[in-house]
C-alpha cells in the first residue's frame, strides 16, 4: 500500500517573504529547509516564515522572519537545540524594521551565504 504524503499548504504571506529573499534560487543557494509558516489570522495578526539553516559563519541554525505592522520585516537569527527535551535558544541576533530591499543583504551579512543564483551571460 502506498504511503500518503502530507499536503503542502501555501501561506500567501510566507510565499511573498520567500520571493523577496529570492524564491527557489534562495533555497538552492542557501540550503535552507523545513520551512514553516503562519498566516495572518485573528489569533496571529503578524504573519511569519521560519526556516532551518545550514552551518554558517554566525553559528545560527534558524531564521524567523515576521511581517511587522508597518509592512517591514523583523528578522530573528538564532541557534536552537534541545537540552533535556527543552528548547534552548542561544546566539540570538534580531534585526528590526528591515525593508524588502534589505532582506537578502541582511541574510548575507549574518550567514555569509549568497542568496541569488549567479547570472551567466554569453559575450561574443
Give 62-114 pLDDT, tens digit per residue: 999 999 988 899 999 999 999 999 999 999 999 999 999 999 999 999 999 99
- Determine the pLDDT at residue 11: 81
Q: Check if the beta carbon of residue 15 is closer than 8 Å to that of residue 21.
A: no
Q: List the chain domain ranges.
A: 12-111
pTM greater than 0.85 (yes/no): no
- Determine the pLDDT at residue 39: 83
- Read out DSSP for 2-38? PPPPPPP---HHHHHHHHHHTHHHHHHHH--EEEEEE
- Determine the pLDDT at residue 43: 82
What is residue 75's three-state secondary structure? strand
Amino acid at each position: 500500500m502506498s504511503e500518503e504524503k502530507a499536503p503542502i499548504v501555501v501561506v500567501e504571506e510566507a510565499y511573498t517573504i520567500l520571493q523577496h529573499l529570492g524564491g527557489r534560487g534562495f533555497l538552492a543557494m542557501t540550503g535552507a529547509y523545513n520551512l514553516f509558516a503562519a498566516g495572518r489570522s485573528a489569533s496571529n495578526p503578524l504573519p511569519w516564515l521560519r526556516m532551518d539553516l545550514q552551518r554558517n559563519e554566525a553559528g545560527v541554525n534558524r531564521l524567523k522572519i515576521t511581517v511587522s505592522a508597518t509592512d517591514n520585516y523583523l528578522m530573528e537569527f538564532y541557534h536552537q537545540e534541545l537540552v533535556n527535551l527543552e528548547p534552548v535558544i542561544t546566539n540570538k541576533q534580531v534585526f528590526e524594521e528591515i525593508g524588502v530591499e534589505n532582506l537578502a543583504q541582511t541574510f548575507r551579512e549574518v550567514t555569509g551565504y549568497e542568496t541569488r543564483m549567479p547570472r551567466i551571460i554569453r559575450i561574443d
